[in-house]
A and B are shown apart, each in its own frame.
Chain A
Amino acid sequence: DAKTTQPPSMDCAEGRAANLPCNHSTISGNEYVYWYRQIHSQGPQYIIHGLKNNETNEMASLIITEDRKSSTLILPHATLRDTAVYYCIVGRAGNNRKLIWGLGTSLAVNP
């Protein structure tokens, strides 16, 4: 079973920030939080990952709570092309083949 909980769907206005929450209350100390997204009819695409500290790259920011039991993926200026299913996954570094994928959040960016 997946070890994360995400809302099944969310909406966001184009140009606004999209904040996607994820609950991972049973995360272990050596487990990372990974985010992937899957645009319709395509394979998943890596976005970002983190352990304890907040992370930022050219695609998104990842905010992890101090107790590490939840995190938020932030798309700062959502575009229509960001419409996709977003998966939050936990797993150990070096063992990413064992990532357990849940149902994800279907994000709709509206014009």
Chain B
Amino acid sequence: GAGVSQTPSNKVTEKGKYVELRCDPISGHTALYWYRQSLGQGPEFLIYFQGTGAADDSGLPNDRFFAVRPEGSVSTLKIQRTERGDSAVYLCASSLNPSGGYNEQFFGPGTRLTVL
């Protein structure tokens, strides 16, 4: 079946601009995660959705970052007033239901964001 998809695959923007990154999770997966990965580093947790609600947004670096998942499926990560330091690969992952036992996270290919 289809895996997690992310669009666009690459995004180049100018400092100060607004960007939206989209994630389509695996159908039926209730949990959705956003991560950010800088070059040579492991993924850094940003936010986790269970259904439509953000169950944990403790990883968002500041209030310029916001994410939504209005219908419990597709999610959009929004970054306002982008800064050069926001340049990274933004990864999305989904899992069936993380409560209780462990559910593996399925990752998308990521969106490479470059802020000039």
- Chain A residues within 8 Å of B, Cβ to Cβ: 2, 32, 34, 41-46, 49, 87, 93-104
Contact = CB atoms under 8 A, between A and B. Distances in A.
Interface residues of B, number: 28
Q: Which 3 A-B pairs have the closest CB atoms?
A: A43-B107, A101-B42, A46-B104
A21 to B, nearest CB: 17
Interface of B: 4, 31, 33, 40-45, 48, 55-56, 91, 93, 95, 98-110
Contacts of B42: 2, 87, 101-104
A46 B105 contact: yes
19 contacts: A32-B102, A34-B102, A43-B4, A43-B93, A43-B107, A44-B91, A49-B102, A49-B104, A93-B101, A94-B98, A94-B99, A94-B102, A96-B105, A97-B33, A97-B56, A97-B98, A98-B45, A101-B42, A103-B40
Contacts of B108: 43
In terms of DSSP, what is the predominant structure of the interface of chain B? Answer: loop
Given A103-B40, A104-B42, A93 B102 contact: yes
